[in-house]
Chain A
């Protein structure tokens, strides 16, 4: 399977934010609330990862609610590709 690395997902995340004139901080501990990365931005990112890998990534909402930092987003999507 064509799997994206954490760094590649980080690049895609930066693009999602850049389209909204926002910047992705280098620090994984940065809070999503502060950088303005909302749940539909997460959806957009997940769908971009899907486009790259050609695999659907389906997931329930509870996992999504636990995501608070940039690192959480990257961990979640890396993990999701393994399921």
Chain B
């Protein structure tokens, strides 16, 4: 069912839900959006002092909650709270994810299931939940899925993780089609960060990636946030795309 869109431009998001917003890239995204004047709802399994500080600094524009992204009920009530406090959500950043660092043959089957649940099932469920509310209210909005270069290139020790990231990139394309221009849906796929999850790759592998990167350094969260902000806020016709931010390491 693909009909020509009779749609005006999708306005910039004004209330953005960020999953996994308590540290690393998620926290950087929350900070950056607040600086841009956006109202932000952020949840994570554990609320860090950094996120608490942001909430205290912007009491009218931030709502934070301790929610495990795989707990759909908790996510649902968080979304309701957000709507009451900040207004209807018209932007989502699916950022929460868990990493992996184990060869596929030696990864426990429970761990594979947990990675898929956290990184693929949960963001699809959260997206469904929010777009249902947006569609019901006739809202237009933006969706940004934070994926990874692993969705397109192979790295040992990251098999299940890569499958989930490639899965989200594929979902991005189909969702962009399905939402018929009412919402702009894109992925941002960072290369490896010096910190956080890419502790997974080990110093030798990271050195090798740096050597192969034309810009000569691993990606920093602050190099990714402007791209996320653009996709949420600027008038572009970018839709259904995966934007890689990795200094051309994978080219």
A, B: real partners: yes
Q: Mark A residues whose CB is within 8 Å of B.
A: 39, 43, 46-47, 56-62, 64-65
Complex interface: stretch among B54-62, B102-110, B239-247: B102-110
Q: What are the nearest 3 A-B pairs in CB distance? A: A58-B108, A61-B157, A61-B101
What chain B residues lie within 8 Å of A61 (beta carbons)?
101-103, 156-157, 200, 202
Nearest chain A CB to B102's CB is how many angstroms away? Answer: 5
B111 contacts the other chain (CB 8 A): yes
Q: How far is the CB of A43 from the nearest CB of chain B, in Å?
A: 6
Choose among B101, B106, B108, B204 the residue that contacts A43 (Cβ–Cβ < 8 A). B106
Query: A59 CA to B102 CA in the complex, in Å?
Result: 7
Is the CB–CB distance between B202 and A59 below 8 Å? Answer: no
Q: Residues of A contacting B106 with CB < 8 Å?
A: 43, 46, 57-59
- State the Cβ distance, B158 to closest chain A Cβ, in Å: 9
Q: Is the interface of A mostly helix, strand, loop or mixed?
A: helix
Q: Point out the residues of chain B lying under 8 angstroms from A65, CB to CB.
A: 202, 204
B111 near A58 (CB under 8 angstroms)? yes
18 pairs from A and B in contact (CB 8 Å cutoff): A43-B105, A43-B106, A47-B105, A56-B108, A57-B106, A58-B107, A58-B108, A58-B111, A59-B102, A60-B101, A60-B102, A61-B101, A61-B102, A61-B103, A61-B202, A62-B101, A65-B202, A65-B204
